[in-house]
Amino acid sequence: MPKPLDAIFFDIDDTLFSTTVFADKARRNAIDAMVRAGLNADRKLAMRELEDVIAEFSSNYGSHFDKVLDRLGPESHSGHNRAVIVAAGVVAYHATKESDLKVYDDVYATLRWLAEKDVVRGIISAGITIKQAEKLVRLDVLEFLTPSAVFFTDQVGFSKPNPKLYRRVLERMHLQPDRCLYVGDNPTHDIDPCNDEGWHTVRIRRSGRYAEIEGRTRADHEIRDFLELRRLLEAEYGL
- Same domain, yes or no: 31 and 112: no
Q: What is the pLDDT of residue 31?
A: 98
Q: What is the pLDDT of residue 61?
A: 87
Q: What is the CATH number of the domain that holds 226?
A: 3.40.50.1000
Q: What is the pLDDT of residue 54?
A: 94
pLDDT tens for 2-14 read 899 999 999 999 9
pLDDT tens for 77-115 read 999 999 999 999 999 999 999 999 999 999 999 999 999
- Same domain, yes or no: 63 and 110: no
Burial of 14 (0-12, 13-18, 19+ CB in 10 A): buried
In whole numbers, what is the pLDDT of the chain averaged over residues? Answer: 96
Q: What is the pLDDT of residue 26?
A: 96
Q: Tell me if 1 is assigned to some domain.
A: no
Domain boundary among 100, 121, 140: 100
Q: What is the pLDDT of residue 211?
A: 85
Q: What is the CATH number of the domain that holds 91?
A: 1.10.150.520
What's the whole-model pTM score?
0.90
Q: What is the pLDDT of residue 207?
A: 77
- Report the distance separating Cα 210 and Cα 88, nearest Å: 31
Residue 77: what residue type? Answer: H
- Same domain, yes or no: 123 and 221: yes
Q: What is the pLDDT of residue 1?
A: 83
Query: Nearest-CA neighbor of 126 among 135, 117, 114?
Result: 135
- Report the distance separating Cα 189 and Cα 207, nearest Å: 16
Domain boundary among 74, 100, 126: 100
pLDDT tens for 140-152 read 999 999 999 999 9
Task: Calculate mean pLDDT across residues 24-41.
Answer: 97
Q: Does residue 61 or residue 56 have the better pLDDT?
A: 56
Q: Tell me if 186 is assigned to some domain.
A: yes
- Same domain, yes or no: 221 and 106: yes
Residues forming a β-bridge with 172: none
Q: How confident is the model at residue 171 (pLDDT cuts 50, 70, 90)?
A: very high
Q: How confident is the model at residue 190 (pLDDT cuts 50, 70, 90)?
A: very high
Task: Calculate mean pLDDT across residues 128-136.
Answer: 94
Mapped onto helix, strand or coil, the DSSP state of residue 192 is helix
Q: Tell me if 2 is assigned to some domain.
A: no
Domain boundary among 83, 100, 117: 100
CB 155 within 8 A of CB 172: no
Burial of 146 (0-12, 13-18, 19+ CB in 10 A): middle
Distance (Å) of CA 70 to CA 35, 42, 165 = 15, 15, 38
Q: How confident is the model at residue 59 (pLDDT cuts 50, 70, 90)?
A: confident
Task: Transcribe 51-112 into DSSP letters.
Answer: HHHHHHH-TT-S-HHHHHHHHH-GGGGTTS-HHHHHHHHHHHHHHHHHHH----HHHHHHHH
Q: What is the pLDDT of residue 50?
A: 97
Number of structural domains the chain divides into: 2
Structural domain harbouring 27: 21-100
Task: Calculate mean pLDDT across residues 112-136.
Answer: 96
